[in-house]
Structure 1
Amino acid sequence: MNIKIFRFSIPFRSNLIINNIDLENRQGIIVSVSCMGQTGFGEASPLESFSKETLSDVLWALEGLIVAVDNCSIGEARELAKLHLSSAPSAAFAFDTALYDLEAKINNKALRYFINAEALEYISVNALIDEDLSLSNKTFKVKLSEKNIFSLVEKIEVMCGKIKNDSKLRIDFNGGLDLSRSIRLVKEIKHLKDKIEYLEQPLFNDQFCIEDTSELRLHSDIPIALDETASSFESIQKIVNYNAADAVIIKPMQCGFFSEIFSIKRLLDDSGIKIIFSSMYDGPVAFQASLNLASALQIDSCCGYDTIKLFKDKNLFAVKINNGLIEMNSDIGLGIDLNYIKEYVFHD
């Protein structure tokens, strides 16, 4: 088994401000794993303020693993990865993606079909409210940072009036409200409940968030979704235990190994909680991995894969969104040709 690590840096169309951090490029690491005449690829691109590990942490963890898995089988490498990468979820996701991509190629199957023979052919995608509202998307999303309740209510009423009668609105507060404001807001917009799919992460992601969101749900006729709070199996188990969400947004790279993501899906299905996959401004390899997982796990809710338009060259992602749908390709493995992104990949 031969493992290599490469750095990449892919420019955004314009600088992106994420939690007061100014990003010009999306940076990360691509892992390649070669065995039996095939090569699998994975991506680790932790994001400051979202991920618990840094890019340096990822490099350190992967370099330790490379020494450990020398001359190992795929199965042995996966077991050793659990020891070396458990504290760096994006590294775990990258290495597991590379192994699954490799196994799928060895078996001459698309990655999604290697996982599940009944994988979905299409993935639904939400659109942003600032896009053309004549789009065929059934779900639109908006991020609101306003804290004044009267202003919020006014803006939400205007946006609900803009979308079609058969469309729904997702409203993301990025943790900008406290519990008392959130309770007041849900009462003020109760009349719009038929137009709103859910309110996303209304409360700040701190140690009280899950308990307070559970309290908020008792006052709300509008579903509540959690995003930043749902970053691991343990956090999602607590969300379930407290009955704190109607929907959970999963960013696969934050969750780590595929087995962890499979367990999360089973837990949420058993609990009757809607699951939505979303991108963490992923690069092309992680984006395709997330897309293949959404297909394999039959995620039929609209997913947050509209981030590709934020990149200078969205063709790097090898997907097209038409009428709110991504059609999965039938190429073996991840279905991405790294030759398309080679100009953005470099050695340290």
Structure 2
Amino acid sequence: MTYKFEFRPLARKFLRSLTTSHGNWDIRESIIIRLIDDAARMGFGEIAPISWFGSETLTQALDFCHQLPQEITAKEIFTIPDDLPACQFGFESALEELATKGNNQCPMPHAQCPMPNAPCPMPHYSALLPAKQGALNAWQNLWEEGYRTFKWKIGVDAIAQELAIFDLLIRSLPDTAKLRLDANGGLNYSEAQLWLENCDKFSEKMEFIEQPLAVAEFAGMLQLSQMYKTAIALDESVATIAQLKAAYQQGWRGIFVIKPAIAGSPSKLRQFCRQYNIDAVFSSVFETAIGRKAALQLAAELSQHNRALGFGTNHWFEQQEDTWLESLW
């Protein structure tokens, strides 16, 4: 089948700068694509690259879209090269939406929801807290909204200051809360050890530390994962399907953080996760509702360990997603 293809770039400003060990992030740019079939049905997808995380750049994604004809086939979509993983996700997502048109149900099946009797969807999401001291005043409102798992960025300030804030934060969280720390590869080995030693003191509340070391230091993270009670999750090290496969082949059996919007082909991701039954945490890349719907569908299909999904990010943007899509076309 041949589909009419259209695309539009989109830029959304964060309500506040998102601070990570990679720096400050102020504007989330992506590309919304639309496929139209012979029956005039529309399927939407989103290309939301993060180049510093291992995907293509936004410019590369735009160039790819510009060079495509106005009509494309499914065969062309499934042959998008692996060095354009965000494009693979966006185009396949649009195809899948067309294939399931009319199904507007929540992508998390009731039987798989960790808290099926609670208000949906907040309780099974992990909420991202502001970096530094902002976390101390932010978690309470999110708790009242239903979040029970929180994520806090580290490696963005002096380690002594962050450890002091961490101590205040984790002691203030209720006993039933879970905390994830995300270093974005910003620690060295000795700093990672210090963090893990401190986290082990609060093992009942600590879920894991994401990507404490740089991607090139895989062996160090593998070693650290065997030395402490606090689990380590790979993130930047497994940004794409090729990296997921490589980490598994090198012996990683811990937690994999999967960001579907930049991982690559959804069909290939399904195949990998089902073949190896990995412990996966599905996470956002600050995509729009279009990309989030497709990513959550994958999470619903492939999550095996009932871990909170890393999609508690809506509070970082103005709530106007019901209006911007109409303005694009």
TM range (shorter): 0.7 to 0.9
| Cα displacement string for residues 79-112 of structure 1 (whole angstroms, at most 9, x for unaligned residues) | 322323432111111111110111111xx33487
> Does 146-155 or 238-247 show the bigger shift?
146-155
Partner amino acid, structure 2, of 1:88? L
Structure 1 pair 297–245 and aligned structure 2 pair: CA distance change class (3 A): closer
Q: Distance in 2 between matches of 1:204 and 1:238?
A: 16
Q: Of 54, 58, 62, which residue of structure 2 is paired with 1:55?
A: 58
Q: Distance in 2 between matches of 1:116 and 1:258?
A: 18
Higher relative contact order (CA 8 A, sep 6+): 1
State the match for 2:187 in structure 1.
177
Q: CA RMSD in A?
A: 2.9
Residue 152 (structure 1) shift: 4.5
Q: Distance in 2 between matches of 1:84 and 1:194?
A: 44
Residue 151 (structure 1) shift: 4.3
State the match for 1:331 in structure 2.
none
Residue 16 (structure 1) shift: 4.1
Structure 1 pair 22–140 and aligned structure 2 pair: CA distance change class (3 A): closer
Q: Distance in 1 between matches of 2:110 and 2:166?
A: 42
DSSP 3-state at the match of 1:8? strand
With the length of structure 1 as denominator, give the TM-score of the two structures. 0.77
State the match for 1:5 in structure 2.
7
Alignment check: 8 A CA contact 1:183 1:219 kept: no
Residue 30 (structure 1) shift: 1.3
Structure 1 pair 64–95 and aligned structure 2 pair: CA distance change class (3 A): same
Q: Distance in 2 between matches of 1:192 and 1:16?
A: 26
Alignment check: 8 A CA contact 2:78 2:92 kept: no
DSSP 3-state at the match of 2:78? helix
State the match for 1:126 in structure 2.
126
| Cα displacement string for residues 219-275 of structure 1 (whole angstroms, at most 9, x for unaligned residues) | 111111111111122212232233446211111111121112212422552xxx421
Alignment check: 8 A CA contact 2:125 2:311 kept: yes
Alignment check: 8 A CA contact 2:260 2:295 kept: yes
State the match for 1:309 in structure 2.
315
Q: Distance in 2 between matches of 1:200 and 1:296?
A: 23
Alignment check: 8 A CA contact 1:111 1:292 kept: no
Alignment of 1:183-262 (within 5 A): 183-205=193-215, 207=216, 209-244=217-252, 246-262=254-270
> Does 152-161 or 228-237 show the bigger shift?
152-161
| Cα displacement string for residues 165-221 of structure 1 (whole angstroms, at most 9, x for unaligned residues) | 12111111221211233224323442222221111111122x2x2211101112111
Structure 1 pair 116–221 and aligned structure 2 pair: CA distance change class (3 A): closer
Q: Which blocks of at least 5 consecutive residues in structure 2 are unaligned?
A: 130-134
Q: Distance in 2 between matches of 1:104 and 1:203?
A: 40
Alignment check: 8 A CA contact 2:17 2:24 kept: no
Q: Distance in 2 between matches of 1:173 and 1:84?
A: 32
Structure 1 pair 193–116 and aligned structure 2 pair: CA distance change class (3 A): closer
With the length of structure 2 as denominator, give the TM-score of the two structures. 0.82
Structure 1 pair 161–237 and aligned structure 2 pair: CA distance change class (3 A): same
State the match for 2:93 in structure 1.
97
Structure 1 pair 132–17 and aligned structure 2 pair: CA distance change class (3 A): closer
Q: Distance in 2 between matches of 1:148 and 1:93?
A: 37
Is structure 2 residue 326 aligned with structure 1 residue 342? yes
| Cα displacement string for residues 46-75 of structure 1 (whole angstroms, at most 9, x for unaligned residues) | 134224312231133234443673xxxxxx
Structure 1 pair 162–17 and aligned structure 2 pair: CA distance change class (3 A): closer
